[in-house]
Structure 1
Amino acid sequence: MNSKLTVLTVIAALALSPTLAACGGGEDQPKSAPSASGSTSESEAPPSTGASETPPSISASTPASTPGTTATATPPPALPSATPPPAKPTPAKPAPTAANGTNYKSCSDGRCEVAVRTGTRLPVKASLLGFTNVLVINRVSDGSVAYGAKGGCCSISTSAQKPGGSYILNNLKVTTVAVAGKTAILRLSPA
């Protein structure tokens, strides 16, 4: 190991010696002061060694070690990519359930919470609607519900009630609790 280190030290010294000579030598040589014009005179230039003024070049591909071994440059290891792990899909919220499910007869007294679809007919006291005893669901789509009632003399309806909205049909209050796909949950109560 010491012989390899010695060889490397000698090679490095040989490579640097022409560079040091071109710079003006080491610390033991006196440095000349600049003239009044700010430059040094030509007599103050370092003496020529008589050899070529161009320092010998050392090729990067020339091995700087003992025979049988080669010096090669190894690229730094690649950094791992900063790709985040794939996001886990969030489970879909379960559709809300109505307190009375699809028991439409529970609405006859005007107090119920039921799941309805387009075409559902809810029986309600005629005294609550004022002119008929059936609330008809006209449409459930696009996150809204439309419903109404029709009697011999009159009709009343909504066009697109969104969740959270309420509508009063004479003495009956109808609140849309939720809409999921083709099903809506309505809450009926006396107004």
Structure 2
Amino acid sequence: MTGGSPGGATAEEFPMTPYSMVPAGRAWLYVPTGILTLQRRVGGATEQRVVLPNQTTMEGDNFILMRARGGESSRGGRMKLESFISDAGGLPAPFTNADSSQLQSAEDALGPYFFISRMAGPGAVCVLAVRPVTGAARLLPQGAGAIDVMMRNCAPGDQSAALEPIRAGALGQTVATTARGTQTTLHNLSPFAAPQGLAQ
């Protein structure tokens, strides 16, 4: 894993820059369970944060955080996980003391992704998951070659259910916008590469 914020933004700028609400149909990736979509631009970096429902007693928000990056991304550049987490304000509860050595890997139709899981009380689990998405989505920001994705999701059920929003069945869809400004899907994205420093 390597440091360095994208687009020339400093680490201090990220926590100081507020998000603005945008219509759900403008989310870069398909998040069918999203209840609120936020966006901000810091230096040359653009981020979106989609708030997910939380039906558990675990503190904090469930979310999917997406950061667009370009340049080397289209040529196979890797996700800079440490700077991504740092710029996001650190790891969310209950993962504040976790480190990359605890990440498990899995693979679906779109390639590998990496995650940590914690129990969130009886019949519930929390997951922290990361993966970079490459390829061309309809609403991918201009000039972006990839979107780095981080998710915290505490949900009733098992680990598999909690990971569902970041798997290929959701994020592997190309986004289109309905007449009402909500999301719909067209077709699958291309496979993606592993985060730098975590590839097997």
Both structures adopt the same fold (TM-score exceeding 0.5): no
Q: Please, what TM-score do these two structures have when normalized by structure 2? A: 0.25
Q: Which has the higher contact order (CA 8 A, sep 6+)?
A: 2
Q: Please, what TM-score do these two structures have when normalized by structure 1? A: 0.26
